[in-house]
Structure 1
Amino acid sequence: MRAPKPPHVGIIGAGNIGAELYRKVLNLGWEVTFVAKSDGIYKNLTNKIDRLENYLNYASGLDVTFLAIPTLDDGTAAYEYLLSFLKLDIPVVTCEKGSLSSHFAELEPYRHRIGYSATVGGGTRLLRYMEGHVGPWTQEIHGVINGTLNYLLSEVAAGKPMGAAIADVQRLGYAEPGVNGVLEIINQEAKEDVVMKTAILFNLSNFERERRLKASDMKVREITDAEVDLLIREAGKRRFIVSITRGAPQRDDTIGGFRHQVGEWNIRGGFQALESNPLFSQLVLPGIVNGVIVYEGGENTYRATGPGAGAVPTTSAMVKDALRLLASASPAHAQRS
């Protein structure tokens, strides 16, 4: 019996995630057809072979494409990459958040051809877990979905000075390049990363199919220097938690973050007091760990946690998505094996 042919893949993006993906798929014995960088198309990580605008010339024969670029706009650039491959019936695995948080409605017809586990939760695959547990019976969803903010508070709660914790997230690559200082890092993560992930989380829950949430719908109130001092004092009593709850919004003393209402669902994110909800005790997680809780009422609570940042866990989630998509390949792709 002839051995199956290895999958042929394209990789868009060659930063930490893209480079790790390249190494990972080669170790699996897969064939990398091209790597797209900002300055052109490469045969591997070093040999340039073409201009970037010609990337679709290399789509023929692809089994899956990995999209591993940062969100530099509202997700439109990533959306255009996604759509160009999806229209050719080539599945795409992405860790980029802007496309799904701003263009979810447009991409929804292709949802079964997109691997998106790594867009929220890094290597936790908490989106897949959540999708398997939400439904009409769901009352609340709560999540720690930003590893950087969780790292800062968990480290300060353990006794580390905030300045040292900030230095850690910069050294380890958990903060965006060029963003410096406590206020700038915290507000940047809340205004960009968290709201994008919240939109994806809410839309994949399918609570309001006719009213999809966009990241731009949520207006973040930036925290102040005085509130940073309060966070340092109360680091053991707070975490940055996103809550999606059924019913009218409740009064709270959340520091920073955002509030939004979609239909009967109240969406809130910020440095919430752990004592404000008995479920929050399950979201006191160390370091960059992410987690999500789905609450149905009574004793029915479901929880998933895992590493929420870093190239290795993120690419592991992406490869698992690719394996799932390859297993359910269209007849045209299945003939390759």
Structure 2
Amino acid sequence: MKQIRLSLLGFGVVGQGFVELLRSKRELLQQKYDLDVLLVSVANGRHGFIYREEGLDPELLLRLAAQRKALTEYPDIRHWARPLDGLEATGGDVLAEATGTNLQDAEPGMSHIRAALSLGMHVISANKGPAALAGLELLELAREQGVQLRLESTVMAGTPVVSTVLEGLAGAQVQALRGILNGTTNYILSAMAAGREYREVLAEAQSQGYAEADPTADVEGYDAVAKTLILAALVFGETLKPSDVARQGITGVTQAQIAQAAAEGKRIKLVASLQRENEQGPLRASVGPMALPASDALAGVDGAMNAITFQTDTLPAVTVIGPGAGRLETGQGLLADLIAIARSQRVES
């Protein structure tokens, strides 16, 4: 049985969801994938980095989190106050990076990923910051070190978007893509299409956990821009800056515009798009409200759901629809990436 020694940096909502899956899927991983995952280290910003050579018990970790106790209360562990120091001292086979997204300089996730790759560790990440700001650089570093950097959870959580385009559409040339990549804005626009007012729906989204107390990243389109940058790197092999993406949020969308679109048989959605006019032409990127005809696959995607349509030279339109957020949903993306790494290692050996 293949054993993977796993380090997890980031033990918030996403990290805890991933550990919950490691616990509940343990038998499946062993029986179906011949894989034993040994979680040897976990870190968060408040309590630092804990390590146990024999492995950490997911159930005990989750209990500590549920009781709001410090990771350092786990018995018989080694501890580093700074997660990066702990990672560099202990290493492992795979790093799961699940710290919070920072679109200014992508820290601390950027340093975590660079350190792990330099140590010869594979990396799976749910952190959008490093992938958006330095995706191609990090992928090149992974190639130089002979390891993998997998980013399924950075776009549409665990819905298989990245693996679909890179593996399922292997051999096809993607010419354009359009997507609903932010669940908060889609939830708001769907409710507004039913006649409700923006402020009312935003407050509801915040109360239900779809939107943050400060919803700027979502409603002004910055979150969708980050995912657009990731897709530009992964799908088109280009590094774009946030300023390269024409951005408009949904705060200016009015009920009159919603009603006018409905009268024309259309629905307004916040759409992220990437398109190249020809092989030598520039890659054009945008995020903004669009009135889509009912025949468009994205028009019927409601609530907090996400969707993306790829246009290729061999398949005119491939649309993937699924949840784009959530603790278990995002954890699923990390789990799928972990299994993919284990499978590839078995083939190589």
TM-score (norm 1): 0.79
Tell me if 1:66 matches 2:90.
Answer: no
Displacement of 1:163:
3.5
Displacement of 1:224:
5.5
Tell me if 1:272 matches 2:321.
Answer: no
Q: Judge which range, 163-172 or 89-98, deviates more.
A: 163-172
Equivalent residue, structure 1, for 2:49: 41
Cα pair 2:43 2:50 within 8 Å, conserved: yes
* CA displacement 1:16-68 (0-9 Å, x = unmatched): 111111222233443221211113113545431331252225534x2211111
Distance 2:309 2:303 in 1: 18
Distance 2:71 2:218 in 1: 38
Q: In structure 2, which of residues 328, 331, 341 is the aligned counterpart of residue 312 of structure 1?
A: 328
Equivalent residue, structure 1, for 2:186: 150
Distance 2:18 2:315 in 1: 40
Q: In structure 2, which of residues 153, 163, 172 is the aligned counterpart of residue 118 of structure 1?
A: 153
Q: In structure 2, which of residues 100, 107, 112 is the aligned counterpart of residue 81 of structure 1?
A: 112
* CA displacement 1:109-160 (0-9 Å, x = unmatched): 1266112011011121212212343767543311111111111111222344
Distance 1:229 1:37 in 2: 43
Equivalent residue, structure 2, for 1:26: 23
SS at match of 2:214: coil
Equivalent residue, structure 2, for 1:215: 242
Equivalent residue, structure 1, for 2:338: 322
Distance 1:138 1:174 in 2: 31
SS at match of 1:122: coil
Distance 1:97 1:186 in 2: 14
* CA displacement 1:251-301 (0-9 Å, x = unmatched): xxxxxxxxxxx93332222011113xx863444202121111122479822
- Residue pairs, 1:227-266, within 5 angstroms: 227-230=253-256, 233=259, 237-247=267-277, 263-266=281-284
Distance 2:17 2:290 in 1: 35
Tell me if 1:97 matches 2:104.
Answer: no
| Structure 2: gaps spanning 5 or more residues | 27-36, 52-60, 65-69, 73-78
Q: In structure 2, which of residues 152, 157, 169 is the aligned counterpart of residue 133 of structure 1?
A: 169
Tell me if 1:194 matches 2:210.
Answer: no
Give aligned pairs, total: 304
* CA displacement 1:207-226 (0-9 Å, x = unmatched): xx4x521334335345665x
Tell me if 1:10 matches 2:7.
Answer: yes
Cα pair 2:185 2:250 within 8 Å, conserved: no
Q: Judge which range, 115-124 or 27-36, deviates more.
A: 27-36
Equivalent residue, structure 1, for 2:304: 288
Distance 1:157 1:320, change over 3 A: same
For 1:14, give the aligned amino acid.
Answer: F
Displacement of 1:13:
0.8
Distance 1:96 1:204, change over 3 A: same
Distance 2:209 2:13 in 1: 9
| Structure 1: gaps spanning 5 or more residues | 249-261
Distance 1:219 1:9 in 2: 39
Tell me if 1:303 matches 2:335.
Answer: no
Displacement of 1:76:
3.9
Distance 1:269 1:47, change over 3 A: closer
Displacement of 1:314:
0.8
For 2:235, give the aligned amino acid.
Answer: S
SS at match of 1:21: helix
- Percent identity of paired positions between Structure 1 and Structure 2: 25
Distance 1:246 1:280 in 2: 20
For 1:37, give the aligned amino acid.
Answer: N
